[in-house]
Amino acid sequence: MNTRLSRQKGIIVLLFLGWFISSIDRMFINIAILPIGKELEMDAATFGIVLSIFYLGYTIMQIPGGLIADRYGSKMAIIVTILVFSLFAGLSGVAWSVTSLLVIRFFFGLGEGAFPGAATKLMSENVSPEKRTSTQSVLLVAIVLGGFVASTAGAYFITQIGWRKVYVCLGIIGGITALLYMLFLRSNKTGPIENEQQEEKVSFVSLMKSPSMWKIMIALFGLYTAIWGLTSWVPSYLMNVRKLNLLDTGIYSSLPAIAGMIGYLIGGWLVDKVFANRERLLIIYGNLLSAICIFGMFNVQSLAMTIIFQNMAACLLQIAYMGILAVPLRFLPSTIMGSAFGMLNTGANLAAFITPAVMGALIQLFNGSYYIAFSYLIVGTILSLIMGLLLGNVRDDIGQSHAKPKTA
């Protein structure tokens, strides 16, 4: 028992490290794009496309990555995806033009796209269903922690060695991380799993037929419209509108990562302890309050109030995210978790692909004004809120979509 628990903790530590490294690699562009844009002479529209192209590849790979993890095992899928995205992180440092950067970042996104489904599957294989949401909330802290490090340390190291060398270093660190997985991840399953009968009932086709799964995916699309719009364009807003320098921008841009980390932990606790079977309330109120904060963020004159509203929105959005994620994590068996998480992440990362480019186009269309672009993020929160209102009894819907036993 102690050996199994020790192995389980080791897997959680490795998964935390994997989420952390992948987040730094993914989020570093939000601060690096400022010197990159200056060096490669980008306008606002091109700026947005460069931020978005990663998420095209990332989104395309979500479902295939989950299917690969379900078919060939989470360990293999995780190691391969870390090696691939680390390679293209390193190659980002040698981009010589906007076109080359776009190509590299597209394949960078393809490489990293298999990680979320594989990592979630590995977690679900080793954690009982009633503990998955709180465990996932701890693992997702690594994402916002990575964003914090990418903004603060990234801004510092850009000023010291330049963005190109930072990307090369990130590629090397990723390669070391893959080696750790090879050495210490001995097996896919070390903890309790569901019984065989339940494992056999669920198929990817049944998930695709579930109305609630589609509502959850659309809710994630709306939520991530707000999350990634704030993440990708606030640094530019702080420099161009609030006239901050790069280091100050990096510091202020890192604060929402801490707020988001708190939101993950609060959301995970609320789902398990307060809103069990009532997760939709977190979706509804989290989105409503975050929309109010986003509106306040770009309608106040004080920089301090802008930062406060931004951090409140970041926390509330992640609380809503944990409400959305709770039911699939609790109800679905580990055999289908890679595919299910890939499906849901497709909605989330489609927004991550679309939003920076749309905001860049809106900023350019309205002569450098960020007002309409930030208003677009409120539309995303409203869409997510509506899906929360329409969800109904998700457990019954998903259950009915795959409850029929197999016939001989």
pLDDT at 221: 94
Closest-CA residue to 105 (of 156, 40, 161): 40
**Position of tokens 């496309």?**
49
pLDDT in tens, 160-194: 888 899 899 999 999 999 998 888 876 545 444 44
CATH code of the domain containing 76: 1.20.1250.20
The answer to whether position 1 is within a domain reads no
Percent of the chain with pLDDT over 70: 89
Confidence category of residue 406, pLDDT binned at 50, 70, 90: very low
Task: State the Cα–Cα distance between residues 5 and 210, nearest whole angstrom.
Answer: 35
The answer to whether position 289 is within a domain reads yes
The yes-or-no verdict on residue 293 having pLDDT over 90 is: yes
Domain with 109, as residue range(s), is: 8-183+198-402
In this structure, are residues 331 and 124 in contact, taking their beta carbons and an 8 Å threshold? no
pLDDT in tens, 56-105: 888 888 888 888 888 888 888 889 999 998 999 889 888 888 889 899 99
Closest-CA residue to 318 (of 376, 237, 257, 390): 257
The answer to whether position 273 is within a domain reads yes
The yes-or-no verdict on residue 201 having pLDDT over 60 is: no
- How would you label 228-265 residue by residue, b for 16+ Cβ within 10 Å and e otherwise? bbbbbbbbbbbbbeeebebeebbebbbbbbbbbbbbbb
pLDDT at 290: 95
Look at the chain and count its residues.
408
pLDDT at 196: 40
How large is the average pLDDT for residues 371-399? 82
Contacting residues for 117 by C-beta, under 8 A, at least 6 apart: 62, 63, 65, 66, 69, 77, 337, 338, 339, 341, 342, 345
Helix axes 98-112, 74-92, angle to 10 degrees: 170
Task: State the Cα–Cα distance between residues 282 and 264, nearest whole angstrom.
Answer: 12
In this structure, are residues 50 and 359 in contact, taking their beta carbons and an 8 Å threshold? no
How large is the average pLDDT for residues 2-26? 82
The answer to whether position 103 is within a domain reads yes
Mean per-residue pLDDT over the chain, rounded: 81
pLDDT at 382: 95
CB neighbour class for 142 (10 Å; exposed up to 12, middle 13-18, buried from 19):
buried
Please state the pTM of the whole predicted model. Answer: 0.72
Q: Which residue has the higher pLDDT, 338 or 297?
A: 297
pLDDT at 63: 85
The answer to whether position 189 is within a domain reads no
**Position of tokens 């960078």?**
108
Closest-CA residue to 93 (of 20, 171, 157): 171
CB neighbour class for 358 (10 Å; exposed up to 12, middle 13-18, buried from 19):
middle
The answer to whether position 193 is within a domain reads no
The yes-or-no verdict on residue 144 having pLDDT over 90 is: no
Q: Which residue has the higher pLDDT, 7 or 263?
A: 263
The answer to whether position 3 is within a domain reads no
The answer to whether position 249 is within a domain reads yes
Number of domains in the chain: 1
Task: Report in angstroms the alpha-carbon separations of 318 from 26, 70, 246, 264, 298.
Answer: 18, 27, 26, 5, 20
